[in-house]
A and B are shown apart, each in its own frame.
Chain A
């Protein structure tokens, strides 16, 4: 057994990750970070600008403004008409979009590599020259309200998730939804948007990521020309966020909505995230999530609740360590017909307790380790995914070195690390348990 495992490692050794020499970094004089990732397999480039500003940085009472502003960046600038940005990208055969999260707002285009300069000219233009109007506000606010209706209000699982998250975070803005609370979105104003834009959309708060069929020196020359000309924002505040206090009381919620087709149990725990120079706990939590609920066939919850017993039709566990501040570790169980939520939750807790008692199955651990190593081989087929890793990490307090160290840190996780972090994180006092049901009768079942 041991020999076979060693052989697999030896075979995969030289083929991990995008090698560090394919990634080049600079900082412009105005403080803007630049990351260039070379991949010459196709004459395509991904051009992204990431701002170190997300929904968790919003002022009190203006939830959703980070995402609202993201929509408004497609309106007019001093040099472009409203909508011209996307029209120009499309006319050049490209795709563009943007996304907002708790920790970042990012804009990207994917296009033929010889159109990079046009992308930089337009993206740098809207970093500084946006000209939004009251009419834009009125129309686009309706669009984001419809977006909230589509993503959240029409989806009982999303609504329940909002309530669970709001309960998880006692002090941190991660408890407020990215898209915003509806009553605050309805009042978002031109001033809210411009206040956010003028301060935070600045080169010293931004990261340029260019990935694909490009040469670093050419990218740097263009970046100097277009982004280097924008002055740094002198009043950019230090990114300070209210942190979570020690959590000492387990929280339990019942979310009732007739549109819920099947009752389920959702449990989240406050959990540490990947930190600069200290990613080991996060790496162990990645394994823990896979061990407890990564595969419905071979995970702890899958085996106990779907194979050894027929308590559940679905089990899962999740953890995403990409976060600036404390993140969550989650478990979900959808009970089989005729099984109560209490029985499902008890079975989930019993399975986890039994796992902590007996420890990590070494064969399962090595399978997961092999898969993480292979994932780095497969990841090389998707340069946009690699670009996202760097962009997100640099907005979340990590460095290029942290990103490049991560695969090796994952490989070094031991069974002892996993049990230690599980014992620390799976503490009910820092947890929220939700029962999501169609009606009260489902509780009595």
Chain B
């Protein structure tokens, strides 16, 4: 049976009576928790599953094993080889996405109501009984090696790789989850089985389901799908301090436009100042044309097509980073402008007008995120992973509104440290040299 731990009709859209996101907290008979938004208007289900751990659980000497394992889940399971598995999936018109990140492993499924049972049985086979047969392992290994080779000639990838290595060194955050030519070349079937046992497990699993399904049906579905996964996963990786000081690192690469990746220490997602920092980042470089960096670097000076900053609170370390690209002869000026804006914002803070503008933008944009079954399923999982309650969707805008000018400017002075900014520049930048 299903136990309803929490049911609440939450209107994300204050102005509207008919558009509600009713989040229901469901526990399956087998004890798997999930959040559900039931919506029978379109006959399909979007299911989002995340398991904490991800590529950071790569064992010593086996970097890339979790990624290769993830790529192999759609390459054959049970008594089906890759082609049989895929032909079956195509015949059901279902889509399964398996993905891996630094701190999590994810499954994104979209299945029609009319054949949901068959589609879920197929997905269960992929998650529980992957075969890792030799043909598939070699085929996907070649694909991963091809991606690694491409990354070595991609200025954006070169920049982020150099930045992450300098910041996090031998912690998993310091290297690409793809692994290296050497590490991927050496992976064995046993490494893949170990990665599967350590990562695709029940103990740190989070589920969001949106669409044409009832709570009772979802409970049964989750038990069928997930009950046979191993109970316990490998220990999570340790926290890691951000280890990169201020300066410039130039990575020479022959290309007409330099790519810069920059940043310093960030802020934790559960820090009480996170919302103030989030608003601050929106004003500095959060993505719109209105941000200070877009105004100063693009709109006033025409130095770039885009400049953006992000808060990156990973589970075991946090950064505030940005990216920009400018012609080799102009990247020096771009970096100078960014440094100046960083310093100006840190010293002088934001204006009351800027704060109001950012708040109206963020509070108005929030409901627009709930624009389809799959995006809502993703939001439900993200909230659970951050340990937020279901009613966060009602309270979230109030949390944004509650941030004061003093809060933002105090956080600006603490978080933005222009002297600590480190720029990794890939290209042939004129007049820039690496600092020591």
A interface residues (Cβ-Cβ under 8 A, vs B): 8, 11-12, 15, 40-44, 74, 82-83, 86-87, 90-95, 110-112, 114, 138-147, 149-150, 153-154, 213, 258-262, 295, 297-298, 303, 306-307, 310, 313-314, 334, 336-337, 363-364, 366-368, 370-371, 373-375, 377-378, 380-382, 384
On whether the beta carbons of A378 and B139 are closer than 8 Å, the reply is no
Q: What is the minimal beta-carbon distance from A203 to any residue of chain B, in angstroms?
A: 26
**Among B18, B112, B298, contact of A377 (Cβ-Cβ < 8 Å):** B112
On chain A, the residues within 8 Å of B139 by CB distance are 306-307, 310
**Among B44, B259, B289, B290, contact of A378 (Cβ-Cβ < 8 Å):** B44
Q: What is the minimal beta-carbon distance from B359 to any residue of chain A, in angstroms?
A: 10
Q: What is the minimal beta-carbon distance from B10 to any residue of chain A, in angstroms?
A: 14
Q: What is the minimal beta-carbon distance from B87 to any residue of chain A, in angstroms?
A: 5
On chain B, the residues within 8 Å of A310 by CB distance are 138-139, 142
Q: What is the minimal beta-carbon distance from A24 to any residue of chain B, in angstroms?
A: 20
Is B69 close to A, CB under 8 A?
no
CA distance A45 to B92 in the complex (A): 32
> In B341-367, which residues have CB < 8 Å from any A CB?
357, 360-367
**Among A15, A110, A143, A295, contact of B305 (Cβ-Cβ < 8 Å):** A143
* Chain A to chain B contacts (Cβ below 8 Å), 10 pairs: A15-B42, A40-B18, A41-B41, A83-B295, A93-B361, A111-B368, A112-B367, A154-B255, A259-B255, A261-B152
Smallest Cβ-Cβ distance to A258: which chain B residue: B254
On whether the beta carbons of B368 and A295 are closer than 8 Å, the reply is no
Is B13 close to A, CB under 8 A?
yes
Q: Most A CB atoms within 10 A — which of B93, B154, B362, B374?
A: B93
Please tell me which stretch of B143-151, B160-168, B218-226, B233-241 contacts chain A, meaning at least 4 of its Cβ atoms lie within 8 angstroms of it.
B143-151
On whether the beta carbons of B374 and A381 are closer than 8 Å, the reply is yes
On chain A, the residues within 8 Å of B135 by CB distance are 307
**Among A95, A143, A260, A313, contact of B365 (Cβ-Cβ < 8 Å):** A95
On chain A, the residues within 8 Å of B90 by CB distance are 295, 298, 367-368, 370-371
- Decide yes or no: A377 and B43 within 8 Å by CB, A153-B257, A295-B86, A313-B143 being known contacts: yes
**Among B19, B86, B138, contact of A213 (Cβ-Cβ < 8 Å):** B19
CA distance A47 to B345 in the complex (A): 35
On whether the beta carbons of B149 and A139 are closer than 8 Å, the reply is no
CA distance A298 to B135 in the complex (A): 16
Smallest Cβ-Cβ distance to A138: which chain B residue: B302
On whether the beta carbons of A367 and B143 are closer than 8 Å, the reply is no
CA distance A140 to B305 in the complex (A): 9
Cβ proximity bits B274-301 to A, threshold 8 Å, 1 near / 0 not: 0000000000000011100001001111
Query: 4 new A-B pairs (CB below 8 Å) besides A146-B327, A262-B150, A384-B371?
Result: A110-B368, A140-B302, A147-B305, A261-B154
Is B242 close to A, CB under 8 A?
no
CA distance A142 to B256 in the complex (A): 14
What's the count of A-B pairs with C-beta under 8 Å?
A: 192
Q: Most B CB atoms within 10 A — which of A87, A370, A378?
A: A378
- For the complex of A and B, 6 pairs with smallest distance between CB atoms: A93-B364, A142-B302, A374-B93, A297-B86, A149-B257, A147-B305
Smallest Cβ-Cβ distance to B211: which chain A residue: A381
Q: What is the minimal beta-carbon distance from B160 to any residue of chain A, in angstroms?
A: 15
CA distance A82 to B39 in the complex (A): 43
Q: What is the minimal beta-carbon distance from A23 to any residue of chain B, in angstroms?
A: 17
- Decide yes or no: A143 and B298 within 8 Å by CB, A313-B146, A314-B146 being known contacts: yes
On chain B, the residues within 8 Å of A95 by CB distance are 365, 368
> In B223-276, which residues have CB < 8 Å from any A CB?
254-257, 259
On chain A, the residues within 8 Å of B362 by CB distance are 93
- Decide yes or no: A381 and B302 within 8 Å by CB, A83-B289, A150-B325, A337-B142 being known contacts: no
Cβ proximity bits B181-199 to A, threshold 8 Å, 1 near / 0 not: 0000000000000000000
On chain A, the residues within 8 Å of B386 by CB distance are none
On whether the beta carbons of B153 and A90 are closer than 8 Å, the reply is no
On chain B, the residues within 8 Å of A15 by CB distance are 42-43
> In B2-59, which residues have CB < 8 Å from any A CB?
13, 15-16, 18-19, 39, 41-44, 46
On whether the beta carbons of A114 and B15 are closer than 8 Å, the reply is yes
Is B155 close to A, CB under 8 A?
yes
On whether the beta carbons of A94 and B368 are closer than 8 Å, the reply is yes
Cβ proximity bits B92-110 to A, threshold 8 Å, 1 near / 0 not: 1100000000000000001
Smallest Cβ-Cβ distance to B361: which chain A residue: A90
Is B82 close to A, CB under 8 A?
yes
- Decide yes or no: A373 and B149 within 8 Å by CB, A43-B13, A139-B300, A297-B86 being known contacts: no
CA distance A259 to B138 in the complex (A): 26
- Decide yes or no: A146 and B326 within 8 Å by CB, A44-B371, A370-B91 being known contacts: yes
- Decide yes or no: A42 and B152 within 8 Å by CB, A90-B290, A146-B302, A298-B90 being known contacts: no
- Decide yes or no: A146 and B83 within 8 Å by CB, A44-B368, A93-B363, A139-B299 being known contacts: no
Is B304 close to A, CB under 8 A?
yes
On chain B, the residues within 8 Å of A11 by CB distance are 114
On chain B, the residues within 8 Å of A371 by CB distance are 90, 93
Q: What is the minimal beta-carbon distance from B419 to any residue of chain A, in angstroms?
A: 28
Give the dominant DSSP class at B's interface: mixed
On whether the beta carbons of B290 and A149 are closer than 8 Å, the reply is no
On chain A, the residues within 8 Å of B114 by CB distance are 8, 11-12
Is B303 close to A, CB under 8 A?
yes
On whether the beta carbons of A90 and B305 are closer than 8 Å, the reply is no
On whether the beta carbons of B290 and A261 are closer than 8 Å, the reply is no
On whether the beta carbons of A298 and B259 are closer than 8 Å, the reply is no
Smallest Cβ-Cβ distance to B363: which chain A residue: A93
**Among A93, A154, A261, A314, contact of B143 (Cβ-Cβ < 8 Å):** A314
Is B117 close to A, CB under 8 A?
no
On chain A, the residues within 8 Å of B308 by CB distance are none
Is B78 close to A, CB under 8 A?
no
CA distance A145 to B301 in the complex (A): 13
**Among B16, B153, B254, B303, contact of A43 (Cβ-Cβ < 8 Å):** B16
On chain A, the residues within 8 Å of B146 by CB distance are 262, 313-314, 334
On chain A, the residues within 8 Å of B110 by CB distance are 378
On whether the beta carbons of B19 and A87 are closer than 8 Å, the reply is no
Smallest Cβ-Cβ distance to B328: which chain A residue: A149
On chain A, the residues within 8 Å of B152 by CB distance are 261
Is B372 close to A, CB under 8 A?
yes
On whether the beta carbons of B301 and A298 are closer than 8 Å, the reply is no
Is B409 close to A, CB under 8 A?
no
- Decide yes or no: A112 and B15 within 8 Å by CB, A261-B149, A313-B142 being known contacts: yes
CA distance A260 to B304 in the complex (A): 24
On whether the beta carbons of B43 and A260 are closer than 8 Å, the reply is no
Is B373 close to A, CB under 8 A?
yes
CA distance A110 to B367 in the complex (A): 11
On chain B, the residues within 8 Å of A74 by CB distance are 289
On chain A, the residues within 8 Å of B325 by CB distance are 146, 149-150, 154
On chain A, the residues within 8 Å of B373 by CB distance are 381
On chain A, the residues within 8 Å of B16 by CB distance are 43, 213
- Decide yes or no: A149 and B83 within 8 Å by CB, A261-B152, A295-B90, A381-B373 being known contacts: no
On chain B, the residues within 8 Å of A112 by CB distance are 13, 15, 364, 367-368
Q: What is the minimal beta-carbon distance from A109 to any residue of chain B, in angstroms?
A: 11
CA distance A375 to B119 in the complex (A): 16
CA distance A375 to B146 in the complex (A): 31
CA distance A342 to B313 in the complex (A): 48
